[in-house]
Structures are given as C-alpha cells and as structure tokens.
Amino acid sequence: ITKCIEENGGTTLALRKQCAARAFSLSASYDSAIANWFTNQLGEEKPVTTRVYKPEFPLKYGCNPHQKPAGISSVLNSKLPFDVINGVPGYINLLDAANAWQLVKELREATGLASAASFKHVSPAGAAVAVPLSDVECAAYEVTPEAAKELTPVALAYLRARNADPMCSFGDFAAVSDVVDEATALILKKEVSDGIIAPGYTAEAIEILKKKKGGKFIILEATKDYDPGEIEYREVYGMTFSQKRNDKIISKEHMKEVVTADKDVVTDAVVRDMIVASICIKYTQSNSVGFAKDGMMVGVGAGQQSRVDCVKLAGRKVDTWYIRQHPKVLGLKFKAGTKRQDRVNARVRYIEGDFTAEEKTRWEAQFEEIPEPLTSSEKEEFMKAASGVTISSDAFFPFRDSIDHASKHGVSFVVQPGGSVQDTQVTSACEEYSMAMCFTGVRLFHH
C-alpha cells in the first residue's frame, strides 16, 4: 500500500477493490466461524451451514481441457493434506493422490506392513503390502532374485502394486505408506508414472525423482497427522451433499465371523489378504470387487452396475496375472531395445491372443523369433493350479453367480459384508467349492 501511495500519490481503484475484497472475506470468515459454532450446538436442527474456502493454487483445467477455470482450495484456517515438492499436479492427479494416500495409510495401520497403491482415474489398478517375492514372480516382474532380496519393504510394496495390472498402471499416480527411499525411487524411475504421494523422501530419492519426466514428475508430501474433519461435502449440479466421512478402517477384527464350516483355514496370511482386498475396494468406484493373493491385488473390477460383471472383469485380470507366470510367457524372446512397457503390453496380448491380422504382424516384429501360440487348452490347464486367491466385495453378493464365476479364478476365500436375503444360498455355493467365507458387516460403497 505504501509503495502504491508513493508511486501514485494515493491508492488506486484496483488496490482499493483488492483491499475491500480481503477485508470483507476476513470479516465473513469470522462471522462464518461464529455461526458454525452456534449452529453446531443445534445438531440436525441447524438453520444454515457456512464453509469458507481459501484458494491455494490454480489448475491447468478440470477433468477435461475445456473445463476452465479450475483450482484447488483449502478450508479456511486448515492446510491442504499435502505439500507440492515438485511438478504441477492436475485435477485428476489430486483426486488420485487423495484416495491413494488414504488407502495406503489405512493398509499400513491395519497390517503393520509397508503399503503401496497404483491409481488410475480415481480407482486402484493395484495395491499391495510388503511380502517377499517368489522366484517365478521375480521372473514375471523382470527383477532378479538377488535384486529382490535387496528391496526395502516400501520398494517391495510398490513393485507388487505396480505388477497387479501393469498395463492399467501405465501413467499411474503412486502412493506409499513409508518414506520413499532410493530403492523405491529407482523402481519408479523405470516406470511410466505421473507422480507419487508419500509421508516423506530421502535426499537420494528426491534427486532421482526430480529428474523424471524432464523435471515434471509430481512429488507430493502428505501432511503429517492431517485431520480431514468428520463431515465431508461435495457439490454436484447446484446441490451440496454432506455425509460422515467413511473413516471405518477394516482390520482383522472384521474377519472373525467365518460363516462356512471350515474355520481353521482362515490363517493370518488369509486375513492379511482379506484386509488388503477390502481396503483396496473401499477406495474403488462401486460396484467393485477385488482379488488378492500373497499380499497384493491381482485383479480389480470397478464401476460396474452388475456385481457379477465386476467379478468377470476382475477375474479376467486374475487370469492374466497368473498366466504371466506361464513358461511360454516367461520365455518370450524380445528384440534388444524393446521398451519396458511394450514388453508388458506384448505379454498381455500374447495371453489374450485375439489379434487382428494387422496387429499380429506388428506384434511379431518385437521378437527375435516368432513365438508359438499360447493355446486355450494350455491356459486352462495352467489355471487349474491356481488357488489361495481371496475375493472381497464392497457390498453383499445378491446371488450365487458371483461365487460360481469366482471359482474359475483360483478363489479359496471370500470376504463380504453379508446381509442379503440370499446369504444362505451364497454360503452354500462357497461350501460346494470348498471356499471359506467371512462376513464383515461393513458395506464399502465408494462414489
């Protein structure tokens, strides 16, 4: 103000407007705080809800390039749940980061293990906790057994999360529960990824990640002990929705009601997989189901109107995950210089096998020698050995058809809220397939 007066002999109209806006915003926020305190004493009878937002920074655009202007705001007198360390996050990046961070934070709390998630379009492509890799998994994920032994827990968790569905994880937003170390940063360095959110970073990790994407890789540091508040709000088409935040953390306590006959088969490792799958689908667009094995998601089915369609969608991903470990897939001989993601995509297409003539010509050009086809009978025979998979559903199974279909994908364990009039029928189906099933009593719709 002083500088303006010195340069102009007084204040300008523009400056006076700016000062007036700030003054009235300050008084309005003060009045809002008082009004909120009094109305909160009235509970559901409160006549008005006031919320004041502070614009933090603009966004390039919203969900789509034509959705301008766009920006991110905090609730007045509160921080954002993260600090931007590097890069310029976009609208969808931040939605992914907010959901992914909650997922890994809750997984860490529920399992005590380092956790990671790989998000795309506000649903997880994969999620995992730190469980050692088998030799065949090392081969499928392109990591040597010797290198796998050197992985830190957080690096191991992200490696698993990324390899749940590496085709869908292309261009993901990552989240990890622990401080990002050099080992984790080196894994991210190899992958096509937009950004990461974590509770912190070592100096070595920051140096590696800041060079990624020509310096544009997004690095967010989660705010320690952030309190998002008990009630959350959302504006849609001129309406403001409010609800209690879904702060229910799924834990081993929710896996105690085993409703099938053989209760001893629900071991600690099975409970861990039930927790991984259930927390993953808590942050997946509904309807959703998720399959987990050995501490990682191996198939996520999101956003389907029919629950059995979720099972079919995720089940196809489970088969692909398993068959990536088939000797023929592991033995594919790529030409030198074939990019990592091209190898990932080529393996998946080899498994699927439904090439057009033009596509097959281009696909074959990636190999030193044209691979023999992987036949349907070979895939079916390989999948017969699949077992020990857990399926979790965000709401009850309304019919046994989901169980019938899940039996084709190595499912041995089922976890769901229960509460359907068809619970008896679904339980009987599990018994027929020698599956153990738990009822959690907690629905996990996410929209």
Is residue 287 part of the annotated active site? The answer reads yes
Catalytic residue among 120, 293, 405, 446: 120
- At 91, list the tokens: 């609208």
Catalytic residue among 287, 293, 379, 446: 287
Query: What is the rounded CA–CA span in Å between residue 34 and residue 235?
Result: 23
Is residue 86 part of the annotated active site? The answer reads no
In the block, residue with structure tokens 């976009």:
90
Is residue 447 part of the annotated active site? The answer reads yes
Is residue 120 part of the annotated active site? The answer reads yes
Which residues carry out catalysis? Answer: 120-121, 287, 447
